[in-house]
Amino acid sequence: MALVQTISVSLQKLTMWIGMWKLVTHMFGLVTNAVDHVQSGTDALHTAKSLQKKSRKCMIISMVLLLIIALIIVLSILKPWKK
């Protein structure tokens, strides 16, 4: 009878350890998944930074060209050099 109780207790402990191992394995998978998401987020931020820099550069060039065109139009209408 004592042998049966000892085996029963041992099986309960083994079951508990297996459950804990499954939990640890699941947590490891979640951490690995989180690392992947953080890495892809970091890559997306670097891409967004590069695209924003290019967009800002194009906007500034467009504004300068627009100002030059506006200046040419205003000077051609006013013609200050003909006075």
The single residue listed with the structure tokens 């009878």 is 1
Range of the domain at 40: 2-82
Kind and range of the H or E run holding 18: helix 2-78
> How many domains does the chain divide into?
1
Sign of CA dihedral 45, 46, 47, 53: positive
What pLDDT, on the 0 to 100 scale, is given for residue 4? 80
- The torsion angle over the Cα atoms of residues 64, 65, 70 and 73, rounded to 10 degrees, is 140
Task: Tell whether pTM > 0.75.
Answer: no
State which residues of the chain have pLDDT below 70.
83
Distance between CA atoms of residues 32 and 10, nearest Å: 33
What pLDDT, on the 0 to 100 scale, is given for residue 83? 64
